[in-house]
Structure 1
């Protein structure tokens, strides 16, 4: 489970941003995680309390938005969800596609009090 290390780095990044911008209290941290990412959202939620203990984020809420794993078909140019379609274009049955979204891990928003 590498998520604790990931969350510790997120906390460092958010604290640095807060310090640079004069933010002293944070209410909510919003993360975006792609459904094809190597980061598992439920593990992020589980390790969040340990990662924020004793930090500026100690009393914050965590929100996670899951971004779909979408691809564009090289044959028919249609966009489809990779997981739902089992990696095959549902429009033309092609297995040739290019990933558009789904591997992201972003700090989307820091909501200050």
Structure 2
């Protein structure tokens, strides 16, 4: 489970941001995770409490937003969700597409008091 290591790095990043901006309390951390990324949201949620224990984020709520794995068809230019359509364009059934989004993993928002 590589999610724990990634969460620890996110925590370090947020703590550094908090120190630089004189934040003493963070209420919510919002992460965006693409549905095609290698991060599994339920694993992130599962390891988060242990990872924040003893840190500035110990009482912080975690919110995860899932971003769709969308592609654009090279033949007909239709934008579609890869997972929902098994990698085939629902318009022309082509398997030739360019990935638009879905591999993201980022800190979207740090909500502080």
Provide the TM-score with structure 2 as the length reference: 0.99
Q: Provide the residue aligned with 1:64 in structure 2.
A: 64
Deviation readout 1:91-110 (Å, 9 max, x if unpaired): 01110000001000010000
Partner Cα separation in structure 2 for residue 97 and residue 22 of structure 1: 46
Q: Provide the residue aligned with 1:40 in structure 2.
A: 40
Unaligned 5+ residue runs, structure 2?
none
Q: Provide the residue aligned with 2:77 in structure 1.
A: 77
Q: Provide the residue aligned with 2:96 in structure 1.
A: 96
CA drift of 1:60 comes to 0.4
Partner Cα separation in structure 2 for residue 83 and residue 108 of structure 1: 23
Partner Cα separation in structure 2 for residue 24 and residue 92 of structure 1: 54
Partner Cα separation in structure 1 for residue 14 and residue 77 of structure 2: 38
Partner Cα separation in structure 1 for residue 78 and residue 16 of structure 2: 41
Q: Provide the residue aligned with 2:109 in structure 1.
A: 109
Residue 66 of structure 2 aligns to a residue whose secondary structure is: strand
Q: Does 1:29 align with 2:41?
A: no
Cα RMSD for the two superposed structures: 0.4
Residue 23 of structure 2 aligns to a residue whose secondary structure is: coil
Q: Does 1:13 align with 2:13?
A: yes
Q: Does 1:49 align with 2:49?
A: yes
Matched residue count? 113
Provide the TM-score with structure 1 as the length reference: 0.99
Unaligned 5+ residue runs, structure 1?
none
Runs of 4+ in structure 1 displaced over 4 angstroms? none
Partner Cα separation in structure 2 for residue 50 and residue 37 of structure 1: 22
